[in-house]
Amino acid sequence: MRFPLEISSKLPKQGASIFTTMSALANQHNALNLSQGFPNFPCPPELIEYVHEAMLAGQNQYAPMAGVPVLREKLAEKTRELYGATYDAEKEITVVPGGTMGIYAAITALVREGDEVVIIEPAYDSYVPAIELNGGRPIRIELSYPDFRIDWNEFKKVINFRTRMIILNSPHNPTGTLLDAEGIKQLARIVDGNDIIILSDEVYEHIVFDGLPHESMAKYPELAKRSLIVSSFGKTYHTTGWKLGYVVGPEKLMREFRKVYQFMAFSAHTPSQYAYARILDNKALYHELAAFYQHKRDLFADALKSSRFEVLPCKGSYFQLLKYDKISDMKDTDFAKELTVKYQIASIPISVFYLSRRDEHILRFCFAKDDETLLKAAEILCKI
């Protein structure tokens, strides 16, 4: 008997993500992969020893749902030192299997049917599906072009009684721009006196250049009281494949977050949590990360001086935008494919981060690569 399994998809238009697509194309064509954001160099070797030691010491069973206490204590200390904010390790910090799950759990816990969630485009690809699967409505604001700044007047116009959440991301993927002190002031004015929750994606918090500060929501008590802040160990310790991150926020929000998270993963990988707790004592590692990546940003940009690509400003994250309008008028998705297939260099087209598929002929290149790879990539790009 035929069984008519007809599935009405919950995400009918969703295909494989651009990161999956471009990384697969890069592998298929043996291209330098500057598309998906991940380092091609090793993590600190002691971090691997710490995981191994935790495993040998028998730390191989479920961690407490919110994370191992020693790690949460260290994160509370770090947040206090860096941003002057006091979070209770017991009630206000939760360790999760990666920033992506932190974002998903936060949206699932707090966005209700019909709620509006303001997102800023170009937007990281995981926000909209998470909002829609929870019955929320994404309300899109575009960063101004070409400087990729938030137009706060436009922002203000979309806020109304249905606005439940604002999702912010600084340092910003894919543009490399930062929220600055003036932006914080504008944001504070907009949310003042209402119940809007801020979901602040700060996974690149330590990758900020030219001495500029990272404006964490944690620094501003009026914003921190309504914010869940997401960070990721993968970005800080070159371990994107370990999928571990954490979320901090006031008890009221964290209580709701945990109600949902406990049924998503329940808890995160135990030995890695002990390892990160130990490596957090070496504060130089996260303090020096900005200089480490600034060197790479500058090396890549310098090596591109003679190319026909325009190097756009990058203030944070490990992504460099290159504009190619002097080279081609092809669609960015087609141009990215052509570069991968014909020139063996893979990147990410920016139009996919807009619902409107706005195409300014810009590609994103990840510079979390060893210097040799960056020079090789620049050499290829200079020939195009």
**Residue 201 near which of ligand GLN, ligand PMP, none (CB within 5-8 Å, type-dependent):** ligand PMP
Binding letters toward ligand PMP, positions 104-143, x by CB under 6 A: --------------------x-------------------
**Residue 245 near which of ligand GLN, ligand PMP, none (CB within 5-8 Å, type-dependent):** ligand PMP
Q: Which is nearer to ligand GLN, 171 or 271 (CB)?
A: 171
Site stretch for ligand PMP (CB under 6 A), options 177-185, 232-240, 298-306, 352-360: 232-240
- Residue 35 CB, shortest distance to ligand PMP, in Å, is 12
Is 99 a binding residue for ligand PMP by CB under 6 A? The answer is yes
Q: Which is nearer to ligand PMP, 235 or 303 (CB)?
A: 235
Site stretch for ligand PMP (CB under 6 A), options 39-47, 94-102, 214-222, 246-254: 94-102
Is 67 a binding residue for ligand PMP by CB under 6 A? The answer is no
**Residue 99 near which of ligand GLN, ligand PMP, none (CB within 5-8 Å, type-dependent):** ligand PMP
- Residue 376 CB, shortest distance to ligand GLN, in Å, is 20
Buried b (16+ CB within 10 A) or exposed e, 164-194: bbbbbbbbbbbbbbbbbeebbebbeebbeee
**Residue 36 near which of ligand GLN, ligand PMP, none (CB within 5-8 Å, type-dependent):** ligand GLN
Cα–Cα dist 293/296, whole Å: 5
Q: Which is nearer to ligand PMP, 292 or 343 (CB)?
A: 292
Nearest to 122 by CA among 75, 176, 187, 185: 176
Binding letters toward ligand PMP, positions 161-200, x by CB under 6 A: --------x---x---------------------------
C-alpha count within 13 angstroms, C-beta hemisphere, residue 11:
12
Is 240 a binding residue for ligand PMP by CB under 6 A? The answer is yes
Residue type, 33: N
Helix runs in the chain, H state only: 18-28, 45-56, 69-83, 99-110, 127-133, 152-158, 181-191, 221-224, 233-236, 251-261, 270-279, 283-287, 289-303, 332-343, 371-382
Q: Which of residues 195-214 bind ligand PMP (CB under 6 A)?
A: 201, 203
- Residue 36 CB, shortest distance to ligand GLN, in Å, is 5
Q: What is the binding site for ligand GLN (CB under 6 A)?
A: 17, 19, 36-37, 173
Is 267 a binding residue for ligand PMP by CB under 6 A? The answer is no
Is 94 a binding residue for ligand PMP by CB under 6 A? The answer is no
The β-bridge relationship of strands 348-349 and 362-366 is antiparallel
The CA–CA distances, whole Å, from 160 to 1, 117, 144, 195 equal 53, 11, 22, 11
- Residue 184 CB, shortest distance to ligand GLN, in Å, is 24
- List, as own/partner pairs, every contact residues 293-300 make where C-beta atoms lie below 8 angstroms and the sequence separation is at least 24, other chains included: 293/207, 293/209, 293/318, 293/367, 293/368, 294/209, 294/210, 296/367, 296/368, 296/369, 296/371, 296/374, 297/209, 297/367, 299/371, 299/374, 299/375, 300/365, 300/367, 300/374, 300/377, 300/378
Contact 129, 11 (CB under 8 A): yes
Is 232 a binding residue for ligand PMP by CB under 6 A? The answer is yes
- Residue 125 CB, shortest distance to ligand GLN, in Å, is 7
Over its C-alpha atoms, the chain yields an Rg (Å, rounded) of: 21
- Residue 168 CB, shortest distance to ligand PMP, in Å, is 10
Q: Which is nearer to ligand GLN, 21 or 163 (CB)?
A: 21
Buried b (16+ CB within 10 A) or exposed e, 100-117: bbbbbbbbbbbbeeebbb
- Residues found near ligand PMP in the complex (CB under 6 A): 37, 98-100, 124, 169, 173, 201, 203, 232, 234, 240, 245
